[in-house]
Structure 1
Amino acid sequence: MTRLLRTLLCALGGILLLVMASSAMAKVIYVSPDGNDLNSGLSWAQAKRTVTAALGIAASRDEIWVRFGVYNERILLKSGVSLYGGFRGTEGSLSERPAFPRPSPDPYETVLDGQGGGSVATSPASAIRAYRLDGFTIRNGVAENGGGLYLTASATLLTVANCTISGNRANQDGGGMYCANASPTLTNCILTSNLANRKSGGGVYCANSSPTFTNCTISGNGATYGSGVHCYDNSSPTFTNCTISGNRASGYGGGVHCVISSSPTFTNCTISGNGANSYGGGVYCVISSSPTFTNCTISGNSTNQDGGGVYCASSSSPTFTNCTIFGNLANRNGGGVYASSSPTLTNCILTSNLANRNGGGVYCYNNSSPTLTNCTIAYNSGTEGGGIWTSSGGAKVRNSIVTFNIGEGVRSPVLAEFRHNCVWDNVPYNFAGDIGNPIGTNGNISVDPLLVAGHLLPNSPCIDAGDNNVVSVDADVDGEVRFVNATVDIGADEFLPPIVQGYLGFNDFVGSLPSLLDWEIRTSSTEVRTLLLDADGGFVLPGVPMEQFALSAKPLSYLRRTVNVDTSEDSVLDLYILLVNGDIDDDNEVTLFDFGALVAAFGSVPDDESWNPRADLDGDMEVTLFDFGIIVRNFGEIGDE
């Protein structure tokens, strides 16, 4: 054996010994409300009383296991140390900890309560090894910035998982979480009911930071700007399978606020029910901020000014692909999308958006140059340009359906490009402004598109009527292949049989139907899909299996209805499913328990303490004798399996 080989083997052996020694030194430190900080912390029987004491003796690669209970303390996280909460206090391995997600209330909730004395958890000044915060509720933090979590550069090595960050407050920025030059990873977390008193980011504040969020919910937070998420100064966080809902801004950007070269990425996300007193109920982006949205739903957001769903200006050009933008409200312009820049929308459905002034679906102002390709713009409303309103000639509209809009279909000067579109039955006109009437030129048609819930029916004139040259993606809004035949279809949906199309009959209901509905497709297994529902109860299920299967739905306070369909030979069309009302307690029966729930809510209206929306069976925003009548008529009814 050569001297060199012996030297290499000795070196390798030394490295292995060091690794083994390091692993042997790593330990678990236990914390329990019944513990004592004078204990060793090396077993449940010898648990520490506080997380702070456990952190004090922890070394890199150690784990701290915390038994359920409330810990009134604020902690400084530590490089290389992983904190886990949610234990019963008997576990011998991490896999024995009760699994997440947990029921509510969580019997094993582990709470870090800041008691209003500062940030609940703070990242260390520096970190050289990954560290973790997993399975905690972070609450009652009050600080200048970052009431719940205050994270700086070292937090790029931090993972936060299975945590609820709620009821925290910042006097300035980041009620729930403050990130400065930090890019942590958050997974399966809830950030709710946090507040940034005077500035930005009620839920999350990012400055020169790009955290990653997966399967997170950011809801019910408040701030002046960006009540859900505020992205500032080159911040481009990534959101996957996240929900941003019910956040309210007194200024701009109810759900998301992006400013100064901040371009977050959203994939399979829902941005819904957010509000802003000023601009951008759902999303607000300005100053070279261009977020990307893929397979996202932007719905039910509102603003007192412009951009109910999305507001983009000052060289900010968001990209929307395979998105559904519906039911948003702007008190002024741009119910769905407001742009004084150049957004790109591909394979998107914009429906049932409302602008009290102009541009119910899309409003383009100040030399903006939007591009809409294979979009479906239907049932939107505005004083002018109910479907599309633009003040410049830079817009491009290709392979798109503009139909059933109120306040004109398209109002515009001569556009840069308008071809292979179907514009039909908009009120009072299909076209207004200087655009003239382009029907009959460049492949544009004006015939009934045969459209239900954003989807084409068999024999639609939009099938195989588009322009292949402008198609840039391989899938339609449903994720199905974009080219079924040699020529692309017009609209967001590429017709691919078989489908199931029909109507739900909502007996005894006078309110607005839900715009989205969960369907169960039951074959050898069960698949759940969330799909659009038209105002008349019309629905389409695309991409169904070519066989016999069961279709099941349970909306609002109605009993479950399950029907068998057979698509082995062709699509199923004009299916009618009559629903039975009265299941207030959601047990799929109309019983005395429902009667009791209605009595408890009787006479109430929204915002009353006793208000129960499920008890408002007829949808008139009041629980009255009419709702009692529905219970009486349907008493004893039982829903399908």
Structure 2
Amino acid sequence: MTVSRFQSFPLPVLLLLLIAGPSGAATLLVSQSGNDSNGLSWESAFNTIGKALMASETGDRIWIASGTYEETIKVKSDVSISGGFLGDESLDEIGTRDSRGNLTIISGKTVSTPIVTCSNVSGVRLETLTIKRASENSGVGLNVIHSDLEMVACIVEENRSDFAGGMRCQNSSVVIRDSTFTNNSVPDQEFFVGGTPTSGFSFRYELAEGGGINAAVGELSLIDCLFVGNNAGKGAGLFLQEMTVTIEGCTFMENRGGYGAGIGAVDSDLTIKGSRFLSNVAEQRLSSFHSCGFGPCNPSKGYFSALGSALALFEGSVADLSACWIQENDSADQGSLYLEGSSSDLRDCLLILNQSCQGGALFLDPMSTGDLSHCTVYGNVASASGGGVYASDGASLVMVNSIFWEDFPDEIRSGSSEIRYSCIRGGGQGEGN
């Protein structure tokens, strides 16, 4: 005889399940104070998220009471997982709970294993969860491969691995809203080249990618998100490769990296609206090291250049920025915004008080193109030249209806740039200037 998943439950419980969602769907509850029986009430709640996932079916939702859950989970298709419950809510109180005051933390248990894995799944929703690696462990927070995922009001913090910090997305379509990625990191990789105790040892280094998120070959939408205090050699906040990305209302702040402290992008299309890049730092990172051995000498070190403290674009990337605020970013070498073989349009943007060696606000290499319209470039500093903008010879840059003022030591190192109807301190050639 075929047994229904609900056959053994009394009528009141069945009625509760029927109002919980679509036909056949259930709301499964997780609480560390439940009796771990069937997950159909807070009293009978499962004690682990993994057990609730094992019991779940298509269309089910899982509610998790506040607390720290030391486990790693693999998510199923068409299942939603929500945290932030006190543990006494009824089924109609999901929208009124205090999710910020009742944190649900998934901390991971196994070293080097992702805390949350989404592999070949679709219709997944994660809501009001904190994904935070236990301090003694390493491993990416979320690993999303060949999947569709929506993530809302989550916190991803203090995760660390060799291939991504907070989150890895590959061949996936991901939408993230109202979420925070903070203090995630990826260490640069060290490789032994050779040597002896007598001659000294040589090492080389490769820049790691994606402190907050490392995304490749897919689609990503970020709405009202915060990336703060993340660290990686490339794309400390966000690293993109062969991606189509929409970013709206987001803030990238105090991230540290070598190439693209806020965002680093390779062969990607970006649309960025109403977002802020504040106090990000692109720093020189070690590329090689040779010790002395037994002989007297000065150890030799090589360094990667520091490029694009706010945003660095490489290899045919295209970025459209509108109504963005780019302020007080610091690059040791070139550009708060750095373009290498790439193109960018900036409209209605504010670029102020940034600093670098060349191109305090914006740097274009000879193979890049740019268009600035209705932008304000103010108070930026370059220790060499191009306090506001540095356009290399061969670069194509058009600047229209914009203000360039109080940049040091000069406003624009223009190359073959075209400037029209703009207000430039000290004056400038071109129509309407």
TM category, shorter:
0.7 to 0.9
Q: In the alignment, does 2:42 pair up with 1:44? A: yes
RCO (CA 8 Å, sep 6+): is it higher in 1 or 2?
2
Deviation at 1:113, TM superposition (A): 0.5
Taking a change above 3 Å as real, the CA distance of residues 326 and 146 of structure 1, as seen in their structure-2 partners, is farther
Taking a change above 3 Å as real, the CA distance of residues 166 and 238 of structure 1, as seen in their structure-2 partners, is same
Kept after mapping to 2: 8 A contact 1:64/1:81: yes
Kept after mapping to 2: 8 A contact 1:202/1:223: yes
Q: SS at the partner of 1:357?
A: strand
> 1 CA distance for matches of 2:127 and 2:26?
17
TM-score (norm: length of structure 1) = 0.56
Aligned residue for 1:532?
Answer: none
Q: SS at the partner of 1:235?
A: strand
Aligned residue for 1:130?
Answer: 123
Kept after mapping to 1: 8 A contact 2:224/2:249: yes
Letter in 2 for 1:41: G
Letter in 2 for 1:236: T
Q: In the alignment, does 2:360 pair up with 1:338? A: no
> 1 CA distance for matches of 2:94 and 2:59?
20
Q: SS at the partner of 1:55?
A: helix
Kept after mapping to 2: 8 A contact 1:141/1:148: no
Q: SS at the partner of 2:64?
A: strand
Aligned residue for 1:490?
Answer: none
Taking a change above 3 Å as real, the CA distance of residues 275 and 45 of structure 1, as seen in their structure-2 partners, is same
Aligned residue for 2:270?
Answer: 264
> 2 CA distance for matches of 1:240 and 1:23?
32
Kept after mapping to 2: 8 A contact 1:146/1:177: no
What are the residue-to-residue correspondences of 1:169-568 with 2, within 5 Å? Answer: 169-172=160-163, 174-198=164-188, 199-232=208-241, 234-249=242-257, 251-259=258-266, 261-277=267-283, 278-307=306-335, 309-314=336-341, 316-330=342-356, 332-340=357-365, 341-382=368-409, 386-391=410-415, 393=416, 395-403=417-425, 418-421=430-433
Aligned residue for 1:110?
Answer: 104
Deviation at 1:209, TM superposition (A): 2.2
Taking a change above 3 Å as real, the CA distance of residues 313 and 378 of structure 1, as seen in their structure-2 partners, is same
Letter in 1 for 2:269: S
Kept after mapping to 2: 8 A contact 1:162/1:189: yes
Larger Rg: 1
Figure out how many residues of one structure are paired with residues of the other and give that number.
371
Alpha-carbon RMSD across the aligned residues, in angstroms, is 2.2
Letter in 1 for 2:184: N
Letter in 1 for 2:230: N
Deviation at 1:115, TM superposition (A): 4.0
Kept after mapping to 1: 8 A contact 2:59/2:79: yes
Letter in 2 for 1:419: E
Kept after mapping to 1: 8 A contact 2:110/2:137: no
Q: In the alignment, does 2:18 pair up with 1:27? A: no
Residues 320-339 of structure 1 show CA distances to partners (whole Å, capped at 9, x for unaligned) of 01100111010x11001011
Quote the sequence identity (%): 29
Q: SS at the partner of 1:54?
A: helix
Letter in 2 for 1:334: G
Q: SS at the partner of 1:419?
A: coil
Q: SS at the partner of 2:369?
A: coil
Kept after mapping to 2: 8 A contact 1:87/1:97: no
Q: SS at the partner of 1:224?
A: strand
Runs of 4+ with deviation above 4 angstroms: 96-100, 141-146
Deviation at 1:142, TM superposition (A): 9.2
Aligned residue for 1:63?
Answer: 61
Pick from 105, 126, 146 the counterpart of residue 153 of structure 1: 146
Pick from 95, 114, 120 the counterpart of residue 115 of structure 2: 120
Q: SS at the partner of 1:169?
A: coil
* Higher-helix-fraction structure: 1
Deviation at 1:293, TM superposition (A): 0.5
Deviation at 1:33, TM superposition (A): 1.1
Residues 505-564 of structure 1 show CA distances to partners (whole Å, capped at 9, x for unaligned) of xxxxxxxxxxxxxxxxxxxxxxxxxxxxxxxxxxxxxxxxxxxxxxxxxxxxxxxxxxxx
Deviation at 1:379, TM superposition (A): 1.0
Taking a change above 3 Å as real, the CA distance of residues 357 and 288 of structure 1, as seen in their structure-2 partners, is same
Residues 267-295 of structure 1 show CA distances to partners (whole Å, capped at 9, x for unaligned) of 01001110111111111111111111111
> 1 CA distance for matches of 2:92 and 2:165?
31
Letter in 1 for 2:317: S
> 2 CA distance for matches of 1:237 and 1:144?
31
Residues 211-253 of structure 1 show CA distances to partners (whole Å, capped at 9, x for unaligned) of 1111100110000111011111x2121111110111000x211
Kept after mapping to 2: 8 A contact 1:325/1:351: yes
Deviation at 1:369, TM superposition (A): 1.1
Aligned residue for 1:163?
Answer: 154
